[in-house]
Amino acid sequence: MTALLELDGVDAHYGQLQALFGVDLAVEQGETVAMIGANGAGKTTVLHTIAGAQRPSRGTVRFAGVPLDGVRADRRVGLGIVLVPEGRRLFPSLTVEENLLVGAHRRRRGPWNVARVVELFPSLDRLRDRRAAYLSGGEQQAVAIGRALMANPRLLLLDEVSLGLAPVVVKQLYAALPGVVAEGVTLVVVEQDIGQALSVARHVTCLLEGRVSLRGRPDELTRDRITAAYFGM
Amino acid sequence: MEWVNAVIQGILLGGVFALFATGLSLAFGIMRLANLAHGTLALLAAFIAYSMVDATGVNPLVALLAVVPIMFVVGYALQRGVLNFTLTGDPLTAILVTFGLAVVIENVLLERYSADARGLDAGSIESASIRVTDDIAIGWFPLMTLAVAVGVLGLLYLLFARTRAGRAFRAISDDRATGRLMGIDDRHYYALAMGIALATVAIAGVFLGIRTTFSPADGNAQLLFGFEAVIIGGLGSLWGTLAGGIVLGVAQTVGAQIEPGWSVLTGHLVFLAVLAVRPHGLFGRALPA
Amino acid sequence: MTRVDDGTTSTGRAPAVEPVAPGEWRIARWTPESRVGVVAALVGLGVLATLPDWGSSSDMATVVEIMALLALAQMWNLLAGFAGLVSIGQQAFIGTGAYALLVLADDHGVDPFVAVWLAALVAAALSVPIGVLAFRLRGGYFAIGTWVIAQVVFLMVTNNTALGGGSGRSLLSLGDYDRITREDYTLYTALVAGAGAVAIVVLVLRSRLGLALRAIRDDEGGARGAGVDVYRARLAVWVIAAGWTGLAGGVIYLQRLNVQPTSAFSVQWTAFMIFIVVIGGLGSTTGPIIGTLVFWILRDQLTDLGEWYLIVLGAIAIVMAILAPKGIYGLLNRIRPFQLFPVQRRLRPRRRVKARSAS
C-alpha cells in the first residue's frame, strides 16, 4: 500500500541557506507521526514543503502517490492537505466564527463544520463573535486547529501547537486530537515538547540541522538515543 | 443662504468623490496597492461610454450597464496579468508600474480622442432639480450620484461582512500567505478586487462624464481628489471614504463661494490640514506601514 | 540551485578574503573600473566645457537640456533608489527653482547666474515643510501626496498675479547679457548642475548618511535598533534632492527664458525622471546616466510620432520595472559586474601600508 505522504530526498533552501538535506519521510494513512528536533532543525520547513509554502530545491513530495510539484498551497487544501501554522496565524480582524468559515473556503466533503469544531473545543462556544486578535494563546490555538479541520483534511499538519502555552492548555489541546484521528485524519505533529509528541505518535522522526537523525516507534527509542539525536551528541 | 447652498452642493459633490475614492480605497485595503492609474482608468471608462453613445445613440446611463462589466474584466486582467507581479518584492515597483500605466493610458486616449473636451448627454435628468427654497435647488443628477455612491458602499459592506468572498478578501488582506494556506487563491482574489475597484471606477467615470465635460488629461485631477477623499476619511474605512468625499466636496464648494478660482485649492488645503493635524483621517485606523 | 542575492544597491561579487590579524582591515571603495569611470567622466566634462569654442547654439542647448535631465534623474534616483522615497511631486521644486530665479533676478536685481544658486536654496527651504507633511504618508500614498502638494504650489503660483498668473513671466534680466555670453554661462551652469548631481550622489553614498540609507533600505527596524535616525536621514536626503532639483529647474528656464506655470509645474517632468531612472537603472549611480542618454536618443527618434513617444517610453518603463528592476545597468551588470563610481564598501585586508586607504 502506498503511503499517504512521501518525501523523497527533499532539499530546501532559503536563498543561499540550505535548510533541508535529503529528507525522506513516509506517513501511512491514518497514522499519527511526530517530528521532533531543536529550534532551527528544519521541522517547520518540512511541513511547509508538504503544505506548499516552500518549494523543494531537490526531491519530491508525493501525496497518495501523486507528486505535488507545482501544485500551489491553496490547491493542496483542496486535495486534503491542511497546515496549522506555527504561531497560529489567525486572521486578526476576523471573528472566531469567521476564521473557522475561512477554513472552509475550499473544503472537501466531510463531517467538519462550525458546530462540530465547537463540540471539540467547547470553550469556543462563547467566543464565536470575538475578534481573533483578542483571544488568549490557548484559545487561538484551538481556533487554528478548528479552522484547519473545517476543510475536512485527509492530512493535518500541526506545527508547534504547544509553543508558548501553559502545560495544562497543551494537555487539553492534545486531548482533542483522538477525536480528530477517529475521523480517519492522518496527523503529522511537529513538536518541541518531546513528551507530548511521543505520547500521541505511532512513529517519530528526529531532525538535526536539516537531516533526519533518528527514526522509530516511541517504545523502541530510549531516552538517551533521543537526546543524542536531538542535540547531535 | 448661499453658504447653505454651497454646503448642500458640496455634499452632493462629495458623492462623486466618494465614488472615485471607493475603488482606490478597495485596492489599497485589500492589496496595499496605491493605484496611480485609477484616475485615468475612470477616464477610460468615460471614453468607452462616449464611443458607445456615439455609435449607438443610447443614453450613457444605459451604456453604463455595458461599461461596468467591461471595466471589471479590464481590472481582472490587469491585476492578473501585470499588477500581481508588482506586489511581491520591492514596493516601489507597484508605484512605478501604475504610474507608467497612467501615462500610457492617458496618452493612448489622447491619441484616439484628442484633447478636446467631450460630454456625455444623459438627457433631461442632468438639469432637473428639486427646488427646496428660493436659493436652494438640489439637482436630481447630483442627488442620484450621491445615492449611487451610498448604494455602492452599502453593497460592498455587505459583500465584505456577509459573503464567503468577502471573508476571503478580508483574510488575505490580513495575511496573504496564511490565506493561501487556508485554500484561498490569492492571485484570483486580488484580481477580483481590482475588477470590483474598476467596476466602481466605471460608474464614477461615467457619472463624471455626464456631470461635466471631460478630456483625457483630467485623469490625474480625479486621482488626486479620490486620494484626498480617502485620506481625509481615513484609511481602512469604507464609510470613511464617503465622509472624506463629502468633506472634500464641501471644502471645494465653500472655497468657490469665497473666491471663484479657489475651489480646488481649498480642497487641497483642507486635505493638507487633515494630514498635518490628524494623519489617520476622520475615521481611520492607524496608517499602515 | 543557489542564486546570488543582490538586494543591496552596490554590486560585485564578494571577494575571497584571507584570514588576517585583527586591526588590519581597510574599507576599499575603488575598483579598477571606477578609476577609469571617474577619469573618463572628468575628461568628458572637460570636453563639454569647451563646447562654446566648437559647438553650435543648438548643440549647446541640447547639452544644457541633457545635463538638466541628468541632474533631475540623479536626484530622483537618490530619493527613490537609495532612500526609498518615491516622489511624484518633484515638479514642485522645479517650478519653485524657476520662479525663485525669476523673482530674484528680475525683481531684486540679483545676477541670474547667481540667482539660480539662491533659487536652489529656496527650493531646499520649501522642501522642509513639504517633507514634514508628506512624511506622514507611506509608499504609494506618499507618492500621491507629493503630487497633491506640487499641485498646491502650482495653484498658489497660478493664482498670484505678481508672478504672472496663468500665463507666467519672462526672464527679462537675462537680456542684460549678449546671446553668446548668456549661452556660455548657461552651459557652464548646466554642466555643474549635471556633474554636480552625480558627485552629490556619490558623496552621499560614501558618507555616513549613505550607509544609514542602505541600512534603512535593507531593514528599517534593524537600522532603527542600531541607532539610525530614520526620519532625519530621509529628511536630509529629501532636502538635498529638492535643492538640486530646484537648481536644475532654474537651469532649464535660464535656457527657455519664459517661465510658464503649467509647464514648470507639470507632472511630466517627474514622468521623465521616472522613465529615465527605471530604464537606466534604479538604485545605481550609473543608471541615470545611461537612462538619460537612452531617453534622449528615444526622444530624438520618436519626435515624429507625437504622443506615441510617451506611450512607448511608458510601456518600456513598465516592462523594465517588472522584468528588469535594475534597469539597463542591472542587465549589463549581470553580464559582467562593474562599478563606474567609487561608492561601494568592501572589507579588504590591509596588505600594504598605503596613504590612500580606509575612509
In this complex, is the C-beta atom of A65 within 8 Å of any C-beta atom belonging to chain C?
no
CB A1 within 8 A of CB A28: yes
Length of chain C counted residue by residue:
359
Contact A91, B180 (CB under 8 A): no
Confidence of residue C272 (pLDDT cuts 50, 70, 90): very high
Comparing alpha-carbon positions, the chain B residue that sits nearest to C156 is: B265
Interface contact B288, partner C, CB < 8 A: yes
Mutation pick from C78, C128, C141 vs chain B, by most beta carbons of B within 10 Å, is C141
Closest C-alpha among B53, B54, B207, B11 to residue B125:
B207
Least confident of B71-85, B198-212, C25-39, C340-354: C340-354
Chain A contact present for B178, CB below 8 A: yes
Binary contact (C317, B85; C-beta < 8 A): no
Residue C45 pLDDT level (bands cut at 50, 70, 90): confident
- Among B220, B261, B279, the residue with its CB nearest the CB of C136 is B279
Matching residue, cell 463624471: B208
CB C343 within 8 A of CB C285: yes
Exposure of C151 by Cβ count < 10 A (0-12 exposed, 13-18 middle, 19+ buried)?
Answer: buried
Q: Which residues in chain A have their CB less than 8 angstroms from residue B88's CB?
A: none
Mean of the per-residue pLDDT values for chain C?
85
In this structure, are strands A81-84 and A66-67 parallel, antiparallel, or unpaired? unpaired
Closest partner CB to B180 (pick from A73, A98, A103):
A73
Q: Which chains touch B (3 or more CB pairs under 8 A)?
A: A, C
Provide the pLDDT for residue C357. Answer: 38
Name the CA dihedral angle for C345, C347, C353, C359, rounded to a multiple of 10 degrees.
Answer: 30
Contact B232, B275 (CB under 8 A): no
Q: What span, in angstroms and rounded, lies between the C-alpha atoms of A182 and B138?
A: 68
Does the pLDDT value for residue C12 go beyond 60?
Answer: no
Across the interface, do B185 and A74 touch by the CB < 8 Å criterion? yes
For residue C9, the model assigns a pLDDT of: 39
Whether the pLDDT of residue C22 is over 70: the answer is no
Nearest C-alpha neighbor of B252 from the set B222, B218, B280, B283: B222
Cβ proximity of B34 and C143 under 8 Å: yes
Q: Is C5 on the interface with A (CB under 8 A)?
A: yes
- Compute the nearest-CA separation of A123 from chain C (Å): 38
Which tens digits make up the pLDDT trace of B155-173? 999 999 999 999 999 999 9
Residue C233 predicted with pLDDT over 70: yes
Nearest-angstrom CA–CA distance, B10 and B12: 5
Contact yes or no for B182 and A51 at CB 8 A: no
**Separation of alpha carbons C185 and C177, rounded Å:** 10
Closest approach of C160 to chain B, Cα-based (Å):
11
Which chains lie within 8 Å of chain A at 3 or more CB pairs, if any? B, C
Q: Does A154 contact B at CB distance below 8 Å? A: no
Q: Does C136 touch chain B (CB under 8 A)?
A: yes
Does residue B261 belong to the interface with chain C, where contact is any CB pair within 8 Å?
A: yes
List the one residue out of B44, B49, B94 whose CA is nearest residue B217.
B44
Average pLDDT over residues C52-61: 84
Whole-number pLDDT of residue B261: 82
Report which listed range, C30-44, C62-76, C327-341, is most confident: C62-76
Amino acid identity of residue C174, one-letter, is: L
What are the pLDDT digits (tens) for A52-79?
999 999 999 999 999 999 999 999 999 9
B158 touches chain C (CB under 8 A): no
State residue C2 phi and psi, 5-degree precision: -100, 150
Residue A16 and residue C1: Cβ atoms within 8 Å?
Answer: no
C-alpha cell of B37? 492609474
- pLDDT, mean of residues C149-173: 89
Of B167, B173, B182, the CB nearest to A77: B182
**Start-end of H helices in chain C:** 32-49, 51-54, 57-77, 91-102, 112-134, 139-158, 179-206, 208-218, 220-225, 230-256, 261-264, 267-280, 287-302, 308-323, 327-335
B236 touches chain A (CB under 8 A): no
One DSSP character per residue, C91-159 reads HHHHHHHHHHHHIIIIIT---HHHHHHHHHHHHHHHHHHHHHHHTTS-HHHHHHHHHHHHHHHHHHHHT
pLDDT digits (tens, 9 = 90+) for A125-138: 999 999 999 999 99
pLDDT at C7 over 80: no
Who among B164, B174, B180 is closest to A92 (CB)?
A: B174
C104, C172 Cβ separation under 8 angstroms: no
Can you give the pLDDT at residue A124? 92
Q: What is the mean pLDDT of residues C21-50?
A: 77
Backbone angles phi, psi at B280, to 5 degrees: -90, 15
C324 in reach of chain B (CB within 8 A): no
Q: Report phi then psi at A62, rounded to 5.
A: -120, 135
* Order of strands, sheet of A155-159, starting from the edge strand that comes earlier in the sequence: A81-84, A155-159, A186-191, A32-37, A203-208, A211-216
Q: Quick one: average pLDDT of C213-237? A: 85
Q: Which residues of chain B have pLDDT under 70?
A: 285-289
Q: Is A55 on the interface with B (CB under 8 A)?
A: no
pTM exceeds cut of 0.95? no
| Residues 130-149 of chain A whose Cβ lies under 8 A from any Cβ of chain B | 147-148
Q: Do A83 and B181 touch (CB under 8 A)?
A: yes
Residues in chain A: 233
Report how far residue C20's alpha carbon sits from residue B14's, in angstroms, rounded to the nearest whole number: 69
Q: Is the pLDDT of residue C313 over 60?
A: yes
Instruction: Tell me which chain A residues have a C-beta less than 8 angstroms from the C-beta of B180.
Output: 52-53, 72-74
pLDDT at C77 over 60: yes
Q: What tens digit of pLDDT does each residue of C61-73 get?
A: 889 999 999 999 9
Mean pLDDT for chain A overall: 91
What pLDDT is recorded for position B209?
Answer: 92
Q: Which of C126, C158, C318, C320 to mutate: most B Cβ within 10 Å?
A: C318
Does C349 score more than 70 pLDDT?
A: no
- Give C148 to chain B, closest Cα distance, Å: 6
Q: Among C41, C38, C82, which residue's Cα sits nearest to residue C214?
A: C82
Q: Give the per-residue pLDDT at C56.
A: 84
Mutation target to probe the B interface, by most B beta carbons within 10 A, among A105, A154, A155 is: A105
Q: Do A15 and C1 touch (CB under 8 A)?
A: no
Q: Is A83 on the interface with B (CB under 8 A)?
A: yes
Q: Which residue has the cell 467566543?
A: A127
ipTM associated with this complex:
0.92
Predicted confidence at residue C20, as pLDDT, reads 55
Mutation choice for C interface testing from A10, A14, A16, A54 by most C CBs within 10 A: A16
Q: Tell me which chain A residue has its CA closest to the CA of residue C1.
A: A57
Least confident of B253-262, C118-127, C267-276: B253-262
Q: Which helix (H) or strand (E) holds A83?
A: strand A81-84
> How far is Cα B64 from Cα B117, in angstroms, rounded to an integer?
20
- Beta bridge mates, A203: A33
Is the pLDDT score of A205 beyond 80? yes
